[in-house]
Amino acid sequence: MTVAGEGVMADPQSDAIWILSSTFIVFTMQSGFGLLESGTVSVKNELNIMVKNAVDVVFGGLTYWIFGYGLSFGNASFSNAFIGWGDFFVTAEDEKLGIVYSKFFFQASFATTATTIVSGAMAERTKLVSYIVFSMINTVLFSIPAHWVWSSKGWLYMLGVVDIAGAGPVHIVGGVTGLVATLMLKPRHRRYDGERHKAPTMSSPTNAVLGMFMLWWGWHGFNCGSTFGISGLKWKLAARSAATTLCSSVAGGVGGFFLSYIMKDRKFDVKYMINGLLGSLVSVTAVCAVVQPWEGLIIGFVGSLVSNAGVALLDKLKIDDPVGCVVTHAVSGVWGMLVAGLFLRKDKLLNALYLHKASTGLFYGGGLYQLGIQSFAVVAIIIWTVVVSFICLKLIDVTLGLRVSLEEEIIGADIIEHGILEEEIIGADIIEHGIESIRNGHVRGETQDAIEQNTADNNHIEVNPAALVMGDDLFQGVIIHADLYNVIY
């Protein structure tokens, strides 16, 4: 997005249609995040994290309509360099109808993406009710920096900051909020106990890679649509955005494969590929339309290394980020913002995006000015995000509570929050008994006994009666937790 949307568009019909078409693509990213997260967490929370991705659009979309859009792009007299005001409960008539609604639709897809990033960092241990409240509040976190960067009144815009598709308001905000959330939530149960430094088994690596694919294609809509139109020279920038984004992701993928090959003894760990590819896509968002493909390659390759290094560092620090979103978005987002201070060239194409306040970057002889502006923006956005997200999450924590109980975490959200078991036809009581055992702090033997007793009554089908009831995945979940529980108590 650029401030282009604020003024009168040169060819509003073509521009609006481009924005709508791009947004159709951008919204598929929500399903991409959902699948990536669902495939990466343990089986017992596979459904829950999909639901949380729907929550982001449902509840985040609601507050974005109520106040988010207004805080970013409101033009009422109270609006100033720091905050937009007006256009709450988005409604438009006559002249503004097409522009406001297409812009709202597009921006809503950005706002809900910023929230969805956080869902990964909070995975496997956050109460759904608390997450719903969080997703509503989180809209503020995105909307204010969006005003700074993308409103013609915004103070960062006036300083000349360049962030075409949201490295700051979307990715740094999302990633940093994720960091605050995971620090507050603390690691998942037994994630960093003793010398066991292992994450739980991915529920479905295949789904995780499918999610990565969906994000990959969606990102092209995200970056290309951010020219916010095709009139004038903007269609050329949209085309360059496509080529540069593709090249950046290519380099990111190469980086991920390369790193995994070296670090994991010639094995290709899909997490390296996913983190590398997504890290590179984040890295290029700020400048996608205004740099050349070969620059995209460099930017993406560095972004991929930075992203994978960050994941390793976070793990060393025993900060539990189940889906790797904190680093992929925050660290690569910072790199993405700085990139504009290095690679920017001041030409008529920059002006076509209303970025005439920006300066030439360091690598093209413009000195440190633009890099300074970009760094300043990074710092400002991080400070904003840390402070406000801490306050919001703390408020939720002391009122509703953020984290589920230990018993609930061990059993998993798919059973606890979504009541998968209740629908079953046979044997539910046996499982309920087993879960009760766990709830009551009894050791695994209890669950075992119940299952074995039932087993004996059923012609020795072992394993089956309970597994039948719950679906195999859930059954495995319960047993795993029973086992873990047993180890602890």
Residues 350-369 touching its own copies, rule: CB under 8 A, are: none
300 within 8 A of 177, measured Cβ to Cβ = no
Query: Taking the complex as a whole, how short is the minimal distance between the CB of residue 466 and its own copies, in angstroms?
Result: 11
- Rule CB under 8 A: say whether 483 interacts with its own copies: yes
Distance CA 290, CA 278 (A): 20
Query: Taking the complex as a whole, how short is the minimal distance between the CB of residue 312 and its own copies, in angstroms?
Result: 14
Find the binding residues for its own copies in span 304-343 (CB under 8 A): none
Instruction: Please report which helix (H) or strand (E) contains residue 297, including its range.
Output: helix 293-316
Query: Taking the complex as a whole, how short is the minimal distance between the CB of residue 456 and its own copies, in angstroms?
Result: 11
Q: Count of alpha carbons within 13 Å of 265, Cβ hemisphere only?
A: 0
- Provide the residue type at 61 as one letter: G
Q: Using CB under 8 A, which of 71, 149, 185, 230 touches its own copies? A: 230
Structure tokens at 398: 């002391």
114 within 8 A of 174, measured Cβ to Cβ = yes
Find the binding residues for its own copies in span 154-213 (CB under 8 A): 196, 198-203, 205-207, 209-210, 212-213
Distance CA 416, CA 184 (A): 22
Q: Which residues contact 391 (CB under 8 A, 6 or more apart)?
A: none
Q: Which stretch binds its own copies (CB under 8 A): 56-64, 314-322, 372-380, 397-405?
A: 56-64
- Rule CB under 8 A: say whether 371 interacts with its own copies: no
Find the binding residues for its own copies in span 378-437 (CB under 8 A): 414, 417-420, 422-426
- Provide the residue type at 105 as one letter: F
- Rule CB under 8 A: say whether 132 interacts with its own copies: yes
Which CB atom, from 53 or from 126, has the smaller least distance to its own copies?
53
Judging by beta carbons within 10 Å of its beta carbon (0-12, 13-18, 19+), is residue 422 exposed, middle or buried?
A: exposed
Find the binding residues for its own copies in span 441-470 (CB under 8 A): 444-445, 448, 452, 459-464, 467-470
Query: Taking the complex as a whole, how short is the minimal distance between the CB of residue 52 and its own copies, in angstroms?
Result: 10
Q: Using CB under 8 A, which of 216, 228, 343, 485 touches its own copies? A: 216
Q: Count of alpha carbons within 13 Å of 334, Cβ hemisphere only?
A: 18
Q: At what angle do helices 173-185 and 97-121 cross, to 10 degrees?
A: 30
Query: Taking the complex as a whole, how short is the minimal distance between the CB of residue 368 and its own copies, in angstroms?
Result: 26
Question: Strand (E) positions, 112-268?
Answer: none
Find the binding residues for its own copies in span 258-297 (CB under 8 A): 261, 264, 266-270, 273, 277, 292-294, 297
Which CB atom, from 187 or from 293, has the smaller least distance to its own copies?
293
* Opening angle at CA 450, ends 447 and 455, nearest 5: 125
Which CB atom, from 155 or from 315, has the smaller least distance to its own copies?
315
- DSSP letter at 420 equals G
Q: Using CB under 8 A, which of 184, 243, 312, 400 touches its own copies? A: 243
Binding mask 67-96 for its own copies (x = CB under 8 A): ----------------------xxx-----
- Choose among 417, 401, 421: nearest CA to 471: 421
Q: Which residues contact 245 (CB under 8 A, 6 or more apart)?
A: 219, 220, 223, 224, 281, 284, 288, 296
- Rule CB under 8 A: say whether 257 interacts with its own copies: yes
Which CB atom, from 204 or from 374, has the smaller least distance to its own copies?
204
Phi and psi at residue 94, to the nearest 5°: 45, -125
Query: Taking the complex as a whole, how short is the minimal distance between the CB of residue 253 and its own copies, in angstroms?
Result: 3
Site residue total, its own copies (CB under 8 A): 129
306: how many CB neighbours lie within 10 A of its CB?
24
Find the binding residues for its own copies in span 99-128 (CB under 8 A): 99-102, 104-105, 108, 128
Find the binding residues for its own copies in span 15-34 (CB under 8 A): 16-18, 20-21, 23-25, 27-28, 30-31, 34
Which CB atom, from 257 or from 390, has the smaller least distance to its own copies?
257
Which CB atom, from 92 or from 309, has the smaller least distance to its own copies?
92
Q: Which residues contact 294 (CB under 8 A, 6 or more apart)?
A: 247
- Choose among 211, 178, 182: nearest CA to 50: 211
* Opening angle at CA 414, ends 411 and 415, nearest 5: 55
Query: Taking the complex as a whole, how short is the minimal distance between the CB of residue 159 and its own copies, in angstroms?
Result: 28
Query: Taking the complex as a whole, how short is the minimal distance between the CB of residue 46 and its own copies, in angstroms?
Result: 5
